[in-house]
Structure 1
């Protein structure tokens, strides 16, 4: 055998031996792999097990869990441990019927009683001869002389009256009825002129008695009061209708106050009101509602209300400001403390106390609010127990609990994935 043939035979033997060895080793490893695959098939991966458990859990736990938590699953029920309620200072009360009073406060302005105001004028031309009341603020009495006036028209009318009076005396017994009647008519016409000029009967009687013409005529005050306006001076010429004095009786005054539209229905004529002044709050004056004006201010949504009160000592002066309080008796109504109500937008909620730390939110509708009490129109019955304080803490507690529970549910979902 040549050298080349020997090398070929040796290489062939080596390949055959390697192939036989590989075949034997492959047959030995294959059963182990199949056996190992069987063992792995019997094992459960942690992630897969959690998924399967989470998928199968609702079927096995839904009945037991729902039955165990049935009270908590009632819609609207809030459960807070009693010790927690005690910690946050929750107090309870009973829904009852009670007498309610509404207090209305406002600020008013003192005004004169328009029925106690008089303006002094004359109805003929003249000149002021003498002033008896010459200063603002002077007090006058009814019938007191204010000034004297000279008027040529008045002098002429007096002369005509005296002539008519003399003619009636002379012709009153005439045998001709027409003559007697004519003299009487002339006398009455002159007298009516005096009446139109507001010449008093006493002046006319004095003229008839003395038979002398009075150069000046005194003008008297028509009412008792205080002079608040004077437009006259000695020697001044005055015209018919000119306002010479304004006199006001301040023994009784008005207070004009603004009442808001939502409070107006509680105000009635004749109701009593307490009035105080800023410079003397210790003194309380008593007045009453005299009139409710029929118009509203479109900008402030208020109406004028007139309060009337005695002012004998004239402590209240025109244009002075005064505080007015009106106590309105509303009768007996179903009411709860305002602190018990949670305002949620346009809704009003209270917590009903069910016991054992269980609270039920209840929608209610309220009416009149009076100080610390609020009338209940719907949503509650007399005798029910409610939470009367720390409601905002309960509301915060229940909201926080809902948030935590929802966050817990989201966390579980992430873990299952």
Structure 2
């Protein structure tokens, strides 16, 4: 057998000798069966692993690996190339590259094969595998008069055989600017954990987070201000922070100016019948009203008929004393603020938002407030006002939010965290984990067919938590990969399926 071919025919039954005893006949029968099996196995081994022809572009390719199962070391791939009519194709350029992706601390391993044309459409490609495991093999075929073709396999020594990953046109057949496809078998997708989700319309809302500071609600503040000079004789409320109620006595004053005004009013009343007395009464009464006398207090003065040099000042509102600017025995000048009383049952929070949040935050939007040190506790409020300017130093937009504080647990000066919910309505959206960032660009891997993914650039609008708004690049109903996108990007970059990453 110098030609390298083998006679694969089985021994003929006519060679049996019927004159032998029955036991010898049975032994010969057994030996013949074993010989037939050995020759059949040898025949299959000599032809590689017989498989149906694989379609690659417009070519038919028969593949056999030797040895089978492949091993760590030298291996040979036997390829027979035919055209669509079954004619053998000679003069083709056959190239083989193989790689094992990086795993953990182990770097990626790759290499190329050495091709030998045998004639008659047959090609042997020698390649060496450095270790056992999953190797991905790409066979590129460029034949005269045919577009480039490509076959992708996976061999996993010491397991027998190979798995076809993809087949079709080679990289040279893709037009410049045409969509780039990443081809992964279903088995490969399951191995790296690819999961798909649909691009669809859904209600979106932005969560604008910011830090803020508790302040007194300015609309709940009342000042005690004198309109005449006086002397402080006694304080009923002598501590800052003390709680007071509306109408509660605060202090007693002695005022010579007030005494003189009361006396003028009484004299004008007693001068009834004198020409011009009515004008005097009205003028004196108006002066007392401007100094804070109520109608009841003026009526009491008229009834008493005697001026009182001392006056008790009462709290104008309920709340806490925020400021106390008076002590007993001092002189209080007209216009001085003696007390500032604030109702802390409702508070303000001044929050600094990012400049980019300015188009979204509006008065009336719901907000939630939490304390950094009090997990689980939260307060519901609303955005009350958005300031019209941006801080030049911090580039922040300030918003004022109002929250109830019935238990008075929120103190002015506290630092808090606020979250403003901004409803955006129904918008076309994609899961956030489906998008892969590349500089200023975003990509998604779109399912284009069985085992085919396309890296598509996506124009993203509002980023609403787990979902991002899609402005362009994706259509409703398309399926995108939402898991293992980093691994997919690595595969795509290796296979030049991310055009922007493939160019500087």
TM-score bracket for this pair, using the shorter chain length: 0.7 to 0.9
Deviates more, 1:267-276 or 1:207-216: 267-276
Deviates more, 1:386-395 or 1:214-223: 386-395
The DSSP-based 3-state class of the residue aligned with 2:409 is: coil
Q: Does 1:294 align with 2:385?
A: no
Q: 1:67, CA displacement in angstroms?
A: 6.3
- What is the rounded CA distance, in whole Å, between the counterparts of 2:299 and 2:250 in structure 1? 21
Q: 1:130, CA displacement in angstroms?
A: 1.4
Q: Answer yes or no: is the 8 Å Cα contact 2:201–2:476 preserved in 1.
A: yes
User: Counterpart in 1 of 2:253?
Assistant: 149
User: Counterpart in 2 of 1:313?
Assistant: 407
Q: TM-score, normalised by structure 2?
A: 0.63
- What is the rounded CA distance, in whole Å, between the counterparts of 1:318 and 1:344 in structure 2? 45
The DSSP-based 3-state class of the residue aligned with 1:164 is: helix
User: Counterpart in 2 of 1:364?
Assistant: 458
Q: Compare CA radii of gyration and give the structure with the larger one.
A: 1
Equivalent of residue 144 in structure 2, options 62, 68, 71: 62
- What is the rounded CA distance, in whole Å, between the counterparts of 1:356 and 1:156 in structure 2? 101
Q: CA RMSD in A?
A: 2.2
Equivalent of residue 195 in structure 2, options 88, 91, 94: 91
Distance change in 2, residues 1:402/1:232 (3 Å):
closer
- What is the rounded CA distance, in whole Å, between the counterparts of 1:241 and 1:230 in structure 2? 14
User: Counterpart in 2 of 1:160?
Assistant: 264
Alignment of 1:271-286 (within 5 A): 271-286=365-380
Distance change in 2, residues 1:152/1:79 (3 Å):
same
Q: 1:192, CA displacement in angstroms?
A: 1.6
- What is the rounded CA distance, in whole Å, between the counterparts of 1:360 and 1:277 in structure 2? 45
Q: 1:153, CA displacement in angstroms?
A: 1.5
The DSSP-based 3-state class of the residue aligned with 2:286 is: helix
Equivalent of residue 373 in structure 1, options 454, 467, 470: 467
Q: Answer yes or no: is the 8 Å Cα contact 2:202–2:428 preserved in 1.
A: yes
- What is the rounded CA distance, in whole Å, between the counterparts of 1:188 and 1:92 in structure 2? 86
User: Counterpart in 2 of 1:186?
Assistant: 280
Q: 1:230, CA displacement in angstroms?
A: 0.7
User: Counterpart in 2 of 1:112?
Assistant: 216
Matched length: 336
- What is the rounded CA distance, in whole Å, between the counterparts of 1:159 and 1:100 in structure 2? 72
Q: 1:362, CA displacement in angstroms?
A: 1.3
The DSSP-based 3-state class of the residue aligned with 2:226 is: coil
Q: 1:270, CA displacement in angstroms?
A: 1.4
Equivalent of residue 358 in structure 2, options 249, 264, 270: 264
- What is the rounded CA distance, in whole Å, between the counterparts of 1:283 and 1:402 in structure 2? 51
- What is the rounded CA distance, in whole Å, between the counterparts of 2:203 and 2:287 in structure 1? 66
Listed one character per residue, the Cα deviations across residues 3-40 of structure 1 (whole Å, up to 9, x for unaligned) are: xxxxxxxxxxxxxxxxxxxxxxxxxxxxxxxxxxxxxx
- What is the rounded CA distance, in whole Å, between the counterparts of 1:67 and 1:111 in structure 2? 72
Alignment of 1:10-409 (within 5 A): 61-66=143-148, 69-70=168-169, 72=171, 73-74=173-174, 75=178, 76-168=180-272, 171=273, 179-180=274-275, 182-402=276-496
Listed one character per residue, the Cα deviations across residues 81-110 of structure 1 (whole Å, up to 9, x for unaligned) are: 443333222222222222222222222111
Listed one character per residue, the Cα deviations across residues 130-176 of structure 1 (whole Å, up to 9, x for unaligned) are: 111111122222222211111112112222111111001xx1xxxxx
Q: 1:402, CA displacement in angstroms?
A: 4.6
The DSSP-based 3-state class of the residue aligned with 2:471 is: strand
Distance change in 2, residues 1:339/1:62 (3 Å):
farther
- What is the rounded CA distance, in whole Å, between the counterparts of 1:402 and 1:161 in structure 2? 99
Distance change in 2, residues 1:211/1:70 (3 Å):
same
Listed one character per residue, the Cα deviations across residues 297-354 of structure 1 (whole Å, up to 9, x for unaligned) are: 1222221111112222211111112221222222221111122112122222212212
- What is the rounded CA distance, in whole Å, between the counterparts of 2:370 and 2:241 in structure 1? 24
Higher relative contact order (CA 8 A, sep 6+): 1
Q: Answer yes or no: is the 8 Å Cα contact 2:390–2:398 preserved in 1.
A: yes
Q: 1:188, CA displacement in angstroms?
A: 1.2
The DSSP-based 3-state class of the residue aligned with 2:239 is: coil
> Which structure dedicates a bigger proportion of its chain to strand?
2
Query: Can you give the 5+ residue segments of structure 1 that lack an aligned partner in the other structure?
Result: 1-49, 54-59, 172-178, 404-417
Q: TM-score, normalised by structure 1?
A: 0.76
Q: 1:220, CA displacement in angstroms?
A: 1.6
Query: Can you give the 5+ residue segments of structure 2 that lack an aligned partner in the other structure?
Result: 1-115, 120-141, 151-167, 498-504
- What is the rounded CA distance, in whole Å, between the counterparts of 1:210 and 1:390 in structure 2? 91
The DSSP-based 3-state class of the residue aligned with 2:337 is: coil
